[in-house]
Amino acid sequence: MSVTDELIQANESYASSFSKGDLSAPPAKKTIVLTCMDARLIPSRFLGLEEGDAHVIRNAGGRAQDALRSIVVSQRLLGTDELLVIHHTECGMLSFKNEDLHAKIKEDLDADASDIDFLPFSDLEQSVRDDVEFLKDSPLVPDDVSVRGFVYDVKSGKVTEVK
Protein backbone atom coordinates (compact mmCIF):
# COMPACT_ATOMS: atom_id res chain seq x y z
CA MET A 1 0.00 0.00 0.00
CA SER A 2 1.38 3.43 -0.91
CA VAL A 3 1.71 6.21 1.66
CA THR A 4 -1.05 8.07 -0.18
CA ASP A 5 -3.35 5.07 0.20
CA GLU A 6 -2.50 4.90 3.92
CA LEU A 7 -3.34 8.58 4.32
CA ILE A 8 -6.65 8.21 2.49
CA GLN A 9 -7.48 5.24 4.70
CA ALA A 10 -6.67 7.35 7.81
CA ASN A 11 -8.96 10.06 6.45
CA GLU A 12 -11.84 7.60 6.22
CA SER A 13 -11.48 6.97 9.95
CA TYR A 14 -11.18 10.70 10.71
CA ALA A 15 -14.20 11.61 8.59
CA SER A 16 -16.36 8.91 10.19
CA SER A 17 -16.42 10.85 13.47
CA PHE A 18 -15.90 14.38 12.12
CA SER A 19 -18.07 16.92 13.93
CA LYS A 20 -16.59 20.31 13.07
CA GLY A 21 -18.28 20.97 9.74
CA ASP A 22 -20.01 24.09 11.06
CA LEU A 23 -16.84 26.11 11.73
CA SER A 24 -16.73 29.44 9.92
CA ALA A 25 -13.98 30.26 7.42
CA PRO A 26 -12.61 33.29 9.31
CA PRO A 27 -10.29 32.01 12.05
CA ALA A 28 -11.70 32.43 15.58
CA LYS A 29 -8.44 33.82 16.96
CA LYS A 30 -8.00 36.18 13.97
CA THR A 31 -4.41 35.00 13.75
CA ILE A 32 -1.99 33.83 11.07
CA VAL A 33 0.88 31.47 11.86
CA LEU A 34 3.59 31.53 9.19
CA THR A 35 6.04 28.69 9.58
CA CYS A 36 8.19 26.17 7.77
CA MET A 37 6.93 23.09 5.96
CA ASP A 38 9.35 20.91 7.97
CA ALA A 39 7.51 17.74 8.99
CA ARG A 40 8.84 17.99 12.56
CA LEU A 41 6.69 21.09 13.16
CA ILE A 42 3.02 20.67 13.99
CA PRO A 43 1.95 24.23 14.81
CA SER A 44 -1.46 23.23 16.11
CA ARG A 45 0.23 21.08 18.75
CA PHE A 46 3.06 23.38 19.82
CA LEU A 47 0.75 26.43 19.94
CA GLY A 48 -2.33 24.69 21.34
CA LEU A 49 -4.52 25.48 18.33
CA GLU A 50 -7.76 23.73 17.43
CA GLU A 51 -9.53 23.55 14.07
CA GLY A 52 -10.89 26.96 13.18
CA ASP A 53 -8.52 28.94 15.44
CA ALA A 54 -5.92 30.28 13.00
CA HIS A 55 -4.66 30.27 9.44
CA VAL A 56 -1.44 28.29 9.23
CA ILE A 57 0.69 29.15 6.21
CA ARG A 58 3.65 26.89 5.53
CA ASN A 59 6.48 27.05 3.03
CA ALA A 60 10.18 26.23 2.86
CA GLY A 61 11.72 28.24 5.69
CA GLY A 62 8.47 29.93 6.68
CA ARG A 63 9.47 32.89 4.51
CA ALA A 64 7.27 35.98 4.42
CA GLN A 65 7.97 36.97 0.80
CA ASP A 66 6.71 33.57 -0.31
CA ALA A 67 3.60 33.84 1.89
CA LEU A 68 2.54 37.43 1.24
CA ARG A 69 -0.27 36.50 -1.16
CA SER A 70 -1.89 34.21 1.41
CA ILE A 71 -1.35 36.74 4.21
CA VAL A 72 -3.15 39.44 2.23
CA VAL A 73 -6.08 37.12 1.48
CA SER A 74 -6.29 36.14 5.15
CA GLN A 75 -6.23 39.73 6.37
CA ARG A 76 -8.32 41.48 3.76
CA LEU A 77 -10.98 38.81 3.20
CA LEU A 78 -11.04 36.83 6.45
CA GLY A 79 -10.25 39.42 9.13
CA THR A 80 -6.98 38.28 10.65
CA ASP A 81 -5.07 40.93 12.57
CA GLU A 82 -2.18 39.13 14.29
CA LEU A 83 0.72 37.37 12.62
CA LEU A 84 3.33 35.02 14.09
CA VAL A 85 6.44 34.32 12.02
CA ILE A 86 8.01 31.09 13.30
CA HIS A 87 11.28 29.72 11.94
CA HIS A 88 13.02 26.74 13.56
CA THR A 89 16.33 25.25 14.57
CA GLU A 90 18.03 22.79 12.22
CA CYS A 91 16.16 24.26 9.25
CA GLY A 92 17.24 22.98 5.87
CA MET A 93 17.18 26.55 4.53
CA LEU A 94 20.37 27.11 6.56
CA SER A 95 22.19 24.39 4.61
CA PHE A 96 22.48 25.80 1.09
CA LYS A 97 22.82 28.90 -1.06
CA ASN A 98 20.75 29.70 -4.13
CA GLU A 99 23.66 28.79 -6.40
CA ASP A 100 23.82 25.31 -4.84
CA LEU A 101 20.17 24.56 -5.56
CA HIS A 102 20.32 26.13 -9.01
CA ALA A 103 23.22 23.77 -9.84
CA LYS A 104 21.40 20.73 -8.40
CA ILE A 105 18.29 21.48 -10.43
CA LYS A 106 20.43 21.84 -13.56
CA GLU A 107 22.17 18.54 -12.83
CA ASP A 108 19.07 16.57 -11.80
CA LEU A 109 16.49 17.99 -14.19
CA ASP A 110 18.52 19.78 -16.85
CA ALA A 111 16.33 22.81 -16.09
CA ASP A 112 17.30 26.43 -15.47
CA ALA A 113 15.99 27.77 -12.16
CA SER A 114 18.51 30.61 -11.91
CA ASP A 115 15.71 33.19 -11.88
CA ILE A 116 14.26 31.75 -8.64
CA ASP A 117 15.32 33.03 -5.25
CA PHE A 118 14.73 30.08 -2.94
CA LEU A 119 15.16 32.43 0.05
CA PRO A 120 17.80 30.48 1.96
CA PHE A 121 19.42 32.09 5.00
CA SER A 122 22.60 31.72 7.03
CA ASP A 123 21.46 33.26 10.34
CA LEU A 124 18.30 31.84 11.92
CA GLU A 125 17.35 34.72 14.20
CA GLN A 126 18.21 37.29 11.53
CA SER A 127 15.94 35.50 9.07
CA VAL A 128 13.08 35.93 11.54
CA ARG A 129 13.91 39.62 11.98
CA ASP A 130 14.11 40.05 8.19
CA ASP A 131 10.69 38.46 7.67
CA VAL A 132 9.07 40.49 10.46
CA GLU A 133 10.59 43.67 9.02
CA PHE A 134 9.47 42.73 5.49
CA LEU A 135 5.88 42.35 6.70
CA LYS A 136 5.89 45.48 8.83
CA ASP A 137 7.31 47.48 5.91
CA SER A 138 4.87 46.06 3.37
CA PRO A 139 2.11 48.44 2.27
CA LEU A 140 -0.09 45.32 2.05
CA VAL A 141 0.10 44.70 5.83
CA PRO A 142 -1.55 47.49 7.82
CA ASP A 143 0.41 49.15 10.63
CA ASP A 144 -2.13 48.06 13.24
CA VAL A 145 -1.47 44.35 12.54
CA SER A 146 0.65 42.72 15.24
CA VAL A 147 3.66 41.00 13.61
CA ARG A 148 5.99 39.10 15.92
CA GLY A 149 8.79 36.63 15.26
CA PHE A 150 9.81 33.42 16.98
CA VAL A 151 12.14 30.43 16.75
CA TYR A 152 10.84 26.93 17.44
CA ASP A 153 13.44 24.56 18.90
CA VAL A 154 13.02 21.13 17.30
CA LYS A 155 14.81 19.45 20.25
CA SER A 156 12.79 20.99 23.12
CA GLY A 157 9.51 21.99 21.43
CA LYS A 158 9.90 25.49 22.90
CA VAL A 159 9.02 28.68 21.04
CA THR A 160 11.21 31.71 21.85
CA GLU A 161 10.51 35.27 20.71
CA VAL A 162 13.17 36.97 18.59
CA LYS A 163 13.65 40.67 19.29
pLDDT tens-digit readout, 100-153: 999 999 999 999 999 999 999 999 999 999 999 999 999 999 999 999 999 999
Q: pLDDT for 47-104, tens place per residue?
A: 999 999 999 999 999 999 999 999 999 999 999 999 999 999 999 999 999 999 999 9
- Residues for the chain: how many in total? 163
Which fold, 27-88+123-162? Beta-carbonic Anhydrase; Chain A (3.40.1050)
Name the pTM for this structure: 0.94
Give the residue from 57, 48, 67, 43 showing the smallest Cα distance to 119.
Answer: 67
For residues 161 and 125, is the Cβ–Cβ distance under 8 A? no
Q: Tell me the backbone φ, ψ of residue 87, rounded to 5 degrees.
A: -95, 180
For residues 81 and 28, is the Cβ–Cβ distance under 8 A? no
